[in-house]
Amino acid sequence: MTVVTRFAPSPTGELHLGSAYSAWTGWHRAREEAGGRFLLRIEDIDIRRCKREFETAILGDLRWLGFDWDGEVRRQSEHFATYGKALDQLGARSLIYPCFCSRAAIERELAASANAPHGPDGPLYPGTCRHLSAQERRERIAAGQEHCLRFDAGRAARETGPYHFVDEKLGRVEGEPMLMGDFVIARKDTPTSYHLAVTVDDHLQGITLVTRGVDVLPSTHVHGLLQKVLGYETPRYAHHKLLTDDSGRRFAKRDRDMTIRAMREAGLEPKAVIIRALAAAAAAS
């Protein structure tokens, strides 16, 4: 099977050394194999935080670094209807439900429960709105109450049974369906979420190998579950190390001197930037 990889930045800031390394891993894997394809996807579903200027700057930096991509760039904000179809599929099987809880209401509920289960991003949603009746849901929606949609992870897990994914370093990883609990699958302000859009797009774009930072590893458990319920193939994964500075701190978009633009302005050659990224990756624990 010919390898198809992708780089999927969110245009919320400039490309920095860490994300350039991430792009390199996908690009390199595609280019080292005859016929390999490297695709570019702009993950701009968060219309408030994503900016066209950042997208243009990211594409410019990638070109400057010498990373060429195959086909058109896929921009997620142009595919909300596609994610909506996947939501309908899940809705028809009662795998999603509207959640009317405000952040404050969730916090109150969590404070009142002694042993709230925790996920990688903190305490998990306690499932309050999962117990609402169909009529109550209808009434609250009809009354115009703000809501997001949540994925009923327990129900999905009962339907699918065990699942797994393969990571090139970790080998076979058993899926943990409850790792993120009933996560948000469509936000109040956006008719999708990262988890849904990424799963649908990796499927539609025929991605065979997902190369991305190890910080996203918990999400892969959720994506594996979504792939199973939606009847998609699960790609292979290669979660890579995150680049850190000398004190072990992760590079972030706010570190101006770690942006590719700053390195370009400082007169570095593209090759030198890539060598620097690879050296930082080799040094990262």
Amino acid symbol at 254: R
Q: Determine, following the binding rule CB under 6 A, whether residue 195 of this chain makes contact with ligand GLU.
A: no
Q: How far apart are CA 268 and CA 118, in angstroms?
A: 44
Scanning 3-11, 77-85, 126-134, 169-177 for contacts with ligand GLU by CB under 6 A, the matching segment is 3-11
Signed CA dihedral, 142, 143, 144, 150: sign only:
negative
* Assigned token pair, 9: 């930045």
CB of 22 to ligand GLU, least distance (A): 7
Q: How far apart are CA 62 and CA 150, in angstroms?
A: 35
* Residue whose CB is less far from ligand GLU, 8 or 148: 8
Q: Determine, following the binding rule CB under 6 A, whether residue 243 of this chain makes contact with ligand GLU.
A: no
Site string for ligand GLU, 24-43 (x = CB under 6 A): -------------------x
Element (H, E) at 185: strand 184-186
Q: Determine, following the binding rule CB under 6 A, whether residue 55 of this chain makes contact with ligand GLU.
A: no
Residue choice 4, 198, 209, 243 for contact with ligand GLU (CB under 6 A): 198
How, if at all, do strands 122-123 and 209-213 pair?
Answer: unpaired
Backbone angles phi, psi at 229, to 5 degrees: -70, -30
CB of 12 to ligand GLU, least distance (A): 8
How many CA atoms lie within 13 Å of 32's alpha carbon, on the beta-carbon side?
A: 6
Scanning 6-14, 118-126, 242-250, 255-263 for contacts with ligand GLU by CB under 6 A, the matching segment is 6-14
* Residue whose CB is less far from ligand GLU, 116 or 216: 216
Residue choice 3, 4, 5, 9 for contact with ligand GLU (CB under 6 A): 9
Bridge partners for 4 per DSSP: 37
CB of 10 to ligand GLU, least distance (A): 4
- 55-59: long-range contacts at Cβ-Cβ below 8 A with a sequence spacing of 24 or more? 55/11, 57/14, 57/15, 57/261, 58/9, 58/11, 58/14, 58/15
CB of 209 to ligand GLU, least distance (A): 12
CB of 67 to ligand GLU, least distance (A): 15
Per CB under 6 A, residues contacting ligand GLU are 8-10, 43, 198, 212, 216
